[in-house]
């Protein structure tokens, strides 16, 4: 893009990269990668960052090579020949069939030599960018099934404990007792819905909310006032999106991806949305493009970290309040702090 954007009327020194979910993970990886230095000026991270347990990454380099070799066997690529070259010749559609679950970036490579935590500690990241980052209120509600928890049915406390153990098998080093104590406090343990909501909160904080927030916070505290960091929490979801994604079911809340349709102007071009949805989409698009052009999304959007206070924009067409102060004190800055930092 940097080499060719001038041919499309673009400015090579004003490039903004942005992504949602796995795309947001990718954006965070570019912020960390020495190979991406100087290639972009601003970044938008919508729900996701490459920041996991401080002591153990999700998948190690050796584990990922074993997975790759198993994939090579499944595709009849012999280990004795150039199996990597063989894999590169496989049709992309075949890879789509092979992928059964979420995959994660691998550390110890040229692209990502060290963890996010170490990169921030040693100032070995691309600090010369401005950032918008943010999350949805109920990030985890879509992902329970990955860990064996269905969105309906007679969920029991034992089911929740098994789901937490399954999450630990993927993300490693969870303090299960502490997390159960925190997320199940004041929860009616005879209510399947209340139990599912509790696990959804835990999972959302583990997978998306705390990694995104802590990444943005560590970046902001590292660069101080040299670059701008803005953070949002989206607290509104269109009925159209809710119906299409089954997020209109009890307990789902404001789901992962809720802001994406507003960012891309879906309500403006489709008849399936309300007038409020259309107006909100226009506001969001203005914020995102203002940030790309000027580095400031909105004059009423405070920086994430200023005067030792955390301020988070309430992304809602009728925000009450306009922003939240220290909204993650008990979670990301509390029960999860030692896990991530």
| Catalytic residue annotation | 21, 139, 256
Residue 200's closest CA among 245, 133, 256, 260? Answer: 256
Q: Would you say 113 and 36 are in contact if contact means Cβ atoms under 8 Å apart?
A: no
Q: Would you say 200 and 256 are in contact if contact means Cβ atoms under 8 Å apart?
A: no
Token couple for 262: 């507003």
How many CB atoms are located within 10 Å of the residue 328 CB?
22
Distance CA 216, CA 328 (A): 13
Token pair 């802001």 in the structure block, residue: 259
Q: Is 42 helix (H, G, I), strand (E, B) or coil?
A: strand
The two counts, helices (H) then strands (E), for the chain are: 14, 7
- HSE value, Cβ hemisphere, 13 Å, CA-based, for 190: 0
Distance CA 259, CA 47 (A): 10
Cα Rg of the chain (Å, integer): 21
Distance CA 32, CA 29 (A): 5
């Amino acid at each position: 893009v940097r080499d060719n954007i001038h041919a499309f009327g673009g400015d090579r020194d004003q490039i903004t990269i942005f992504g949602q979910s796995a795309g947001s993970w990718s954006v965070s990886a570019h912020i960390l990668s020495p190979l991406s230095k100087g290639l972009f000026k601003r970044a938008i991270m919508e729900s996701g960052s490459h920041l996991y347990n401080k002591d153990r990454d999700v998948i190690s380099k050796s584990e990922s090579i074993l997975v790759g070799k198993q994939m090579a066997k499944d595709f009849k690529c012999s280990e004795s020949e150039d199996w990597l070259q063989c894999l590169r010749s496989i049709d992309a559609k075949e890879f789509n069939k092979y992928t059964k679950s979420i995959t994660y970036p691998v550390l110890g490579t040229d692209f990502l030599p060290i963890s996010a935590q170490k990169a921030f500690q040693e100032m070995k990241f691309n600090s010369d960018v401005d950032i918008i980052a943010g999350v949805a209120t109920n990030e985890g509600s879509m992902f329970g099934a990955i860990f064996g928890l269905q969105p309906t049915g007679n969920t029991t406390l034992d089911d929740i404990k098994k789901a937490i153990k399954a999450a630990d098998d993927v993300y490693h080093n969870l303090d299960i007792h502490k997390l159960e104590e925190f997320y199940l406090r004041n929860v009616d343990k005879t209510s399947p819905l209340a139990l599912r909501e509790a696990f959804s909160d835990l999972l959302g904080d583990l997978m998306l909310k705390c990694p995104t927030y802590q990444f943005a916070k560590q970046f902001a505290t590292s660069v101080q006032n040299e670059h701008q960091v803005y953070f949002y929490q989206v607290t509104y979801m269109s009925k159209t999106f809710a119906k299409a994604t089954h997020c209109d079911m009890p307990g789902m809340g404001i789901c992962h991806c809720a802001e994406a349709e507003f960012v891309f102007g879906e309500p403006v071009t489709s008849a399936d949305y309300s007038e409020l949805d259309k107006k909100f989409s226009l506001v969001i698009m203005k914020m995102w493009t203002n940030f790309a052009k000027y580095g400031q999304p909105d004059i009423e959007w405070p920086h994430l970290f200023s005067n030792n206070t955390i301020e988070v924009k309430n992304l809602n067409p009728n925000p009450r309040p306009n922003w939240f102060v220290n909204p993650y004190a008990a979670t990301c800055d509390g029960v999860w702090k030692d896990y991530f930092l």
